[in-house]
A and B are shown apart, each in its own frame.
Chain A
């Protein structure tokens, strides 16, 4: 099974959900902003990366975990990803992380990257994500448990 975690940029909520799923971050307690900033791909996805599946690792259950950004053309990305996944022999599961984060936080993270620059934007995004961390962990683990069932 290939599991793809999606968010708007592919650089904030999705890598954190992927890290929780892979066991790189604890699911039960909120990590520090510094720990969030050390997550692979966190705040490091450019607009030219959006649309591509970026590999994160493999779980103990042999699920391959990827992150991707929907970018500006979110609906198109979702349509083409689902259609292409349907053409593959391997099974895909695509999970949107935006609902665990909320529209306002997503907007704030996006604007922070533009207005404050990459470094300060990353720090603010980490603080904002820390607030909705339990919801994000719930999302990541619900899928893991569904996969087990």
Chain B
């Protein structure tokens, strides 16, 4: 099955959630801001990457784990993704919104870094925000794994 962790720009929460799912980031301890900032693909996506799923790897059960940004067009983007996959005879994907709970300061940091190019200011701000909601991301990923186990069994 394909799992898409979806946020606004495919730069922050979707990347962290996908790494968490793949076991690249320990779920037991809250990471530091530096650890978050050093994750591959964290705060690296450009505006042109919106709508382009990024395959980060396969989990232990063989599920493909993607990060995806849908910008402001969530409803339409999800419609197109599911509709094309269904029409193409593929299994319905599991799409998980990871933006929930991300604070205003973190969103502002993401915008400063990705939209305005102020990486030195924006990246630590958004990483700090991600550290703050880390337990929520862990819960989300755990729920996704539980759903996947249920589907497989």
Contact = CB atoms under 8 A, between A and B. Distances in A.
B11 interface: no
Given A83-B51, A83-B53, A85-B88, A77 B73 contact: yes
A83 B88 contact: no
Interface residues of A, number: 28
A68 B77 CA distance: 12
Given A51-B83, A52-B83, A53-B83, A89 B76 contact: no
Interface string B44-55: 000000111100
B88 A87 contact: yes
B70 A76 contact: yes
Contact of A84 (B71, B72, B73, B85): B85
B75 interface: yes
Size category of the B interface is 20 to 34
A83 B77 contact: no
A71 interface: yes
Given A75-B51, A80-B70, A2 B76 contact: no
Nearest to B54: A83
A76 B47 CA distance: 10
A89 B87 CA distance: 11
Contacts of B59: none
Contact of A88 (B76, B77, B90): B90
A2 B87 contact: yes
B84 A76 contact: no
A85 B52 CA distance: 12
A89 B80 contact: no
Q: Identify the interface centre among B73, B78, B81: most chain A CB within 10 Å of its CB.
A: B73
Contacts of B73: 51, 71-73, 76-77
A81 B80 contact: yes
A66 interface: yes
A59 to B, nearest CB: 16
Given A51-B79, A71-B76, A76 B89 contact: no
Contact of B71 (A76, A85, A88): A76
A52 B90 contact: no
A126 B52 CA distance: 35
B58 interface: no
B76 A50 contact: yes
Given A76-B73, A88-B85, 5 more contacts: A48-B75, A51-B76, A73-B73, A80-B77, A88-B90
10 contacts: A50-B76, A52-B79, A53-B80, A53-B84, A55-B87, A77-B73, A80-B52, A84-B88, A88-B88, A90-B89
Interface of B: 2, 50-53, 70-73, 75-81, 83-85, 87-90
Q: Considering the complex of A and B, which 5 residue pairs feature the smallest CB-CB distances, nearest first?
A: A88-B88, A79-B51, A73-B73, A51-B79, A51-B76
